[in-house]
Each structure stands twice: as C-alpha cells, then as structure tokens.
Amino acid sequence: MRVGMVTLGCDKNTVDNEYLSGLLSTQGHRIEIADPANPPDVVVITTCGFIEAAKAQSIAQIREWAGIRQASGTRLGVIGCLAQRAGEDLLRDFPQIDFLAGVGDFERVAALVAGERKSRFVGDVSEDRNDWNLGQQSGAVSDIEFDDRAFEADAPRVVVPRALPRRRIDRRPHGFLKISDGCNHTCTFCSIPLMKGIYTSVPRQTLLDEARRLLDDGVREINVVAQDITKYGLDLEKRFMLPDLLKDLCDIGGDFWVRLFYLYPSTVTGDLIALMKEQPKIARYLDIPLQHLDHNVLRRMKRPHDRERTMDMLRMVRRELPDVTLRTTFIVGFPGESPAEMKTLTEGIKEIRFERMGVFAYSREHGTPAAALPNHCTEKVKARRKDKLMKLQSKISAEWAASQVGRTREVLIEGRVPGGDWYVGRSHSEAADIDGVVRVLSEEELTPGQFVQARIVEADTYDLTAEVV
C-alpha cells in the first residue's frame, strides 16, 4: 500500500512522522511524500496547532485532501497537535476523515493507517467540548474556543520508551534526534503543554541507538531537538543530563556534527559552554529562544529569567565562544508591550548582535493565560514593530556575513543546485531550512554528506559564497 505523508509544523513532527514511516515500512508499505497530483492509497496529515497561521495551514491541507478523497478514494488520516486539541470538531467539520489521532502512540496510529483498526478516533480528547467552529467553508480558525478541562483527566503525553524503527523520507545529510517531548514551563503565551503534555525525556541508551542508526543511514549532522533540551533527564534521574548525553554522542565514531536547538536561557550554564569548547563535533551554534529582553514583558510572559541574568548569560557565551553563532526568536506586540519596553528589546539586540534572529507578532491563542491579559496591541502596531526589528536584524546579518569574507570554514555539502554550477552547503553558522546557505564552488565533483574546507569569497545578507581549498 502507498502511504503519503504530509508533515506540518516543527522538526519534532518530522521525527514523529519518521517513526510512523518506519513502523509502516516494516509492515511492507511504501512511504512517500504525499502528492495531490498522484494520490496515494492513504494520506496522513501531521498537523500543527501552535499559532493561528499554523492552524490555518493544517486546516487548508485537510480541506484539500478531503476533496481529493472524494474524487480518488484515498483514505484520509489526520494526526498530531491540532487533532489532539480539536479532534471531535475536525471529525464533525470534515466527515471525509477516515481516522484521527492526537500526539504520540505511534504503533496504534500505524495500525489505523494500515486499516487494522476501524475506529475513527484515538486519543485523550474529551467529547465534552465547546463548539470550536473550525470553519470548513471559510477556513477561519480565529473563533476556536479551547476547553482546557478536557485535559485534566487524561492529559496528552508523548513517550518513546525504546528505539522505534525509523524511516527518513528526506535523504539530505542531516537528521533530528528528539531527546524529549512536552514541556513543564508555564509561559503564558504558549499552548504546547496543552497539546503535548508534561516534559518526558527519551532514555539515553535509546537515543544513542537511534543516533547510530541515523549515522549509518548517511546523516552527518545530528540536530538535537526538544521544547527545551537543557532540561533533558531531569524527569529520569532528577538531574540535568544533557552534558552526559552530548559527551556520549561525541564519542560515537565517525565524522559528523551535533547541533543544539531550543535551549532555555535560564539553564545555559558555564558547564555546557565549557563542553562545547572541548568537543569539536558540537557546532558552534546555539538556538536560544528568548522571546523578549524587557523584564516586565518577561514577567507577564511568565518566563523564569529576567533581563540582567539573560544578558549576563549572553555575554558569557560571547566571551567563552567568540566564534559562536547565536540564533534567537522574539515576540513583539505581547499584551501591554509599551514603547519603552520595545526600546529595551531593541537596545539588547543592538548590544548582542545575534547572527540569526526571527521575530513573531504575538498570536492570541485561546486557552492560554496571555489571551486574557488586558491591553492587547493592534495588528498594525505588531506589524510595525516586527518590521522595525527585522530591518535592524537585516543590517546586523549583512555586516556579519561581510566579516566572513576571506575566512576558511568547514562546510557540509547538502547537494548540487539542479542545473547550476554550485553546491549547497552549510557551515557551523547555518542550520538547515532555517538560516542561509553557503554556495560552494568546486572544480571537483562533491557528494552530499561530504565535508570540505572552503574559503568565503562573497557575501550577501544571509548567504555566503565559497571556493573549495
């Protein structure tokens, strides 16, 4: 049977789909990226429910494949975060859905995909819900009302107790190692704990087994991901185990990188930075979502750190790892954000000069404490503040890129541009699908997964051009 996969949302969803694809492959099914022009026997849409735009994208995909199902007979499955929060209403508004499941529980979902179970619903979502009005005709999601009482009795939880079979659909030489799922933080703007449940670490040996299989499968960059990787192991052994895990990963034989994603600022410690200095396999790259740099906004966000401790941490990282690339994200237009608080954020960005930065306009998510806060900013104000920060970041990024000209960097080759005369590569400073790339010029043929030394000869705002040396 042909099974088409649609992966929406974050890289943790990518990992979940690879688990599901692995389980289905062991059953003899053919796994592919779903193509509306060539409908498979079954399509599985892994949804995202994080912010308004993500919900709209998920609903648009469900609507498109619901129409294809009517024309072609393709069985339609919907799983993941939006299904976890809005399962009953998705089934009501899209009767074409053949099966639906929330987060985790990969083996039961595989049974649904294979048609071994007749149930159209799997998960812990209560039937006692408000009318979420998902808007099958209009596509509107702004009127969804979340009833969080549905999660008190049987909260969702994603557990990976053992190494699952895994099949990568994307054959590029980077892969993701999801070391935990869920989140115990109580940030007022975030709905992830409502969809994923409490923080749950994957056992260390399971992760090491999985990492070895990724490397055997051609991966040369292991991206360590979670909602917060710095808390890894706290639920297993009541201590922070990320340094131990990273040491074990780096002890695996072979030539590869380890890249770290989503570190909580309050637990980026000197010990972690010292380990990065000692281990050449760990990319000099840190993704630390800060959300804001004003103390009062951070307090309203219920982030467990303040401006001064955050700035001290960033200065420490700059001092100890002068060649590090820092990536972060900020939210502008959070309820009550004043011009003075916006100025504090701007001044902090000017001081730290993040090489990579993303900015999101605050999205009012139903069921989160921030949705009930007073003094929400208008969409116009949020857009103007986002534009201001992105213009500032564009200037900082262009100046950093120009400073790289003349330097020689190690570059991982991802592939050749179709019909082009250059290769797509990335150095420690570029994360896949998030940052820019290194355009690599070479007289000799290069292969995906190959590491080369390349001298930077040209730069624009986000991309670099290099020649193999």
**Same domain membership, residue 412 and residue 278:** no
**Same domain membership, residue 49 and residue 183:** no
Task: Name the residue range of residue 55's domain.
Answer: 2-147
**Same domain membership, residue 230 and residue 138:** no
Q: Is residue 300 part of a domain?
A: yes
**Same domain membership, residue 14 and residue 118:** yes
Give the pLDDT score at 37: 95
Q: Is residue 166 part of a domain?
A: no
Q: Is residue 205 part of a domain?
A: yes
State the alpha helices, DSSP H only, in 73-136.
Answer: 81-93, 106-113
| Token pair belonging to 61 | 């995909």
Count of the separate structural domains present in the chain: 3
Q: Using an 8 Å Cβ cutoff, are 415 and 447 in contact?
A: no
In angstroms, the CA 98 to CA 68 distance is 13
**Same domain membership, residue 384 and residue 264:** yes
Rg (CA), the chain: 22
Q: Which helix (H) or strand (E) holds 200?
A: strand 200-201
In angstroms, the CA 108 to CA 101 distance is 9
Give the pLDDT score at 120: 55
**Same domain membership, residue 112 and residue 64:** yes
* Interaxial angle between packed helices 270-278 and 307-320, expressed in degrees from 0 to 180 and rounded to the nearest 10: 20
- Cα 196 to Cα 158, 182, 200, distances in angstroms: 7, 5, 10
Q: What are phi and psi of 178, to 5 degrees?
A: -85, 110
**Same domain membership, residue 320 and residue 413:** no
Which of these three, 368, 403, 438, is where a domain ends? 403
**Same domain membership, residue 440 and residue 389:** no
Q: Which residues of the chain register pLDDT less than 50?
A: 123-153
Give the pLDDT score at 129: 32
Q: How many CB atoms lie within 10 A of CB 275?
A: 17
- pTM over 0.85, yes/no: yes
Which of these three, 403, 432, 460, is where a domain ends? 403
* Interaxial angle between packed helices 270-278 and 242-251, expressed in degrees from 0 to 180 and rounded to the nearest 10: 10
| Token pair belonging to 350 | 């000017």
**Same domain membership, residue 448 and residue 306:** no
Q: Is residue 57 part of a domain?
A: yes
Q: What are phi and psi of 333, to 5 degrees?
A: 80, 20
**Same domain membership, residue 212 and residue 115:** no
Give the pLDDT score at 278: 96
In angstroms, the CA 158 to CA 199 distance is 9
In angstroms, the CA 17 to CA 169 distance is 9
Q: What are phi and psi of 187, to 5 degrees?
A: -55, 135
Give the pLDDT score at 134: 39
CATH of the domain at 449: 2.40.50.140
CATH of the domain at 27: 3.40.50.12160
Q: Is residue 96 part of a domain?
A: yes
Cα–Cα nearest to 451, from 409, 404, 407: 409
Give the pLDDT score at 118: 53
Q: Is residue 152 part of a domain?
A: no
Q: Is residue 154 part of a domain?
A: no
CATH of the domain at 249: 3.80.30.20
Triad 224, 228, 233: Cα angle to 5°: 80
**Same domain membership, residue 196 and residue 257:** yes
Q: Is residue 161 part of a domain?
A: no
Which residues touch 141 (CB under 8 Å, ≥6 apart)? 52, 55, 56, 59, 134, 135
Which of these three, 366, 385, 403, is where a domain ends? 403
**Same domain membership, residue 438 and residue 322:** no
